[in-house]
């Protein structure tokens, strides 16, 4: 791919478990949210364009809290996830307020992103190394249906403050993704990782299990591949769960891999992930960010 890669950030979530707009909630000593450190790390890795997927009604809030100060240093664009933007023949069920998930958000980028791109969650801290490895892949290896993901060890992605959902992955001997299964209600319990099965019973999960934290490397080909799967998902799931069903990127990629439509190289990062799933996670994130500033990993003021 000849075009310079872009960074795309999933920032349209409602923050229902967190209790507010965690995408722009400050965790740095100057009020910087996690997303700002992600953009800073991406710029250091070589990215020059960032696309934020947000809800249209949040545009001014994002400009004031984030993008106005970043715009002199990065090419900043918005893509809007609109709940009413659905495939032909599908309508929003009465009472639906929740967005349609990260696959739907990904598709909001069509027409805005025409280069290879990395896509991340707004509220996850991935570490500088992750941006370097994905940028290198996008510049040197990415092709139409040749993608990548940055994987993390499950035990290093859990919170002490509740359950989380993770895409649990398997890879072959060549380092390519063979399967990804979305597992909900994963928790840390009795010093290990467990998940709640369909019978409400806790089952063990290896802390070394490879999981997706929604750090993907794609080309624009993904839009054409994901669109029909999104439509199929909605047709099947709206009748079953009209108010809360969501199509998630890991599940969509898993279907593409299973069908042999694409190949996904599994990359790893030496850095540790952390994030703010719950409000109770914030003090730990604030402390870690300050430790990194004190150690010189980040300057006291990011943009100057």
pLDDT in tens, 179-206: 998 898 999 988 889 999 999 999 999 9
Buried b (16+ CB within 10 A) or exposed e, 139-167: eeebeebbbbbbbbbbbebbbebebbebb
Coil, strand or helix: which one is 265?
strand
Q: How many domains does the chain have?
A: 1
Q: What is the DSSP string of 236-258?
A: HHTTT-TTT----HHHHHHHHHH
Q: Is residue 304 part of a domain?
A: no
Q: Is residue 302 part of a domain?
A: no
What does the pLDDT average to over 76-91?
A: 95
Which residue range(s) make up the domain with 238? 6-294
Coil, strand or helix: which one is 131?
helix
Q: Is residue 234 part of a domain?
A: yes
Residue 77 in tokens = 């664009």
Structural contact between residues 38 and 125, judged by C-beta atoms closer than 8 angstroms: yes
Q: For the chain, what percent of residues have pLDDT higher than 70?
A: 97
More confident residue, 218 or 278: 218
Cα-based angle 202, 205, 210 (whole degrees, multiple of 5): 145
pLDDT of residue 111: 92
Helix axes 221-237, 249-259, angle to 10 degrees: 110
Q: Phi then psi for 127, rounded to 5 degrees?
A: 95, 150
CATH assignment at residue 168 = 3.90.550.10
User: Is the model's pLDDT at 129 over the cut of 60?
Assistant: yes
Distance of alpha carbon 219 from alpha carbon 196, whole angstroms: 35
Structural contact between residues 96 and 243, judged by C-beta atoms closer than 8 angstroms: yes
Place of tokens 């740095």: 28
Tell which residue, 217, 198, 216, 262, has the closest CA to residue 116.
217
Q: Is residue 106 part of a domain?
A: yes
Pairing between β-strand 6-10 and β-strand 49-54 as defined by DSSP bridges: parallel
Task: List, in order, residues 6 or more apart from 230 with CB less than 8 Å away.
Answer: 87, 100, 103, 104, 107, 247, 252
Structural contact between residues 151 and 212, judged by C-beta atoms closer than 8 angstroms: yes
User: Is the model's pLDDT at 14 over the cut of 70?
Assistant: no
Q: Is residue 85 part of a domain?
A: yes
Q: Is residue 299 part of a domain?
A: no
Q: Is residue 300 part of a domain?
A: no
Distance of alpha carbon 155 from alpha carbon 33, whole angstroms: 24
Distance of alpha carbon 61 from alpha carbon 117, whole angstroms: 25
What does the pLDDT average to over 64-81?
A: 96
pTM recorded for the entire structure = 0.93
Q: What does the mean pLDDT of the chain come to?
A: 93
User: Is the model's pLDDT at 115 over the cut of 80?
Assistant: yes
Lowest mean pLDDT among 9-23, 252-266, 273-287: 9-23
pLDDT in tens, 210-220: 999 999 999 99
Q: Is residue 82 part of a domain?
A: yes
């Amino acid at each position: 791919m000849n075009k310079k890669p872009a960074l795309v950030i999933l920032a349209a979530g409602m923050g229902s478990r967190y209790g507010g707009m965690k995408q722009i909630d400050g965790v740095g000593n100057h009020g910087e949210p996690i997303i700002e450190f992600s953009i800073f790390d991406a710029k250091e890795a070589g990215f020059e364009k960032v696309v934020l997927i947000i809800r249209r009604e949040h545009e001014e809030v994002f400009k004031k809290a984030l993008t106005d100060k970043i715009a002199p240093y990065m090419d900043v664009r918005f893509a809007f996830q609109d709940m009413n933007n659905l495939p032909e023949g599908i309508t929003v069920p009465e009472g639906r307020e929740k967005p349609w998930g990260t696959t739907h958000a990904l598709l909001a980028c069509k027409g805005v992103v025409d280069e290879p791109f990395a896509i991340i969650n707004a509220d996850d801290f991935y570490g500088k190394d992750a941006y370097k490895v994905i940028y290198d892949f996008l510049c040197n290896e990415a092709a139409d249906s040749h993608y990548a993901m940055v994987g993390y060890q499950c035990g290093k992605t859990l919170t002490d403050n509740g359950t989380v959902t993770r895409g649990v992955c398997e890879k072959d001997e060549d380092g390519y993704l063979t399967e990804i299964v979305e597992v909900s209600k994963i928790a840390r319990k009795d010093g290990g990782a467990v998940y709640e099965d369909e019978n409400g019973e806790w089952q063990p999960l290896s802390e070394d299990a490879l999981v997706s934290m929604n750090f993907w490397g794609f080309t624009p080909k993904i839009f054409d591949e994901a669109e029909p799967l999104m439509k199929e998902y909605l047709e099947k799931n709206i009748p079953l769960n009209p108010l809360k069903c969501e199509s998630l990127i890991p599940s969509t990629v898993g279907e593409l891999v299973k069908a042999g439509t694409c190949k996904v190289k599994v990359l790893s990062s030496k850095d540790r992930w952390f994030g703010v799933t719950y409000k109770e996670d914030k003090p730990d994130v604030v402390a870690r960010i300050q430790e990194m500033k004190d150690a010189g990993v980040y300057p006291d003021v990011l943009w100057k």
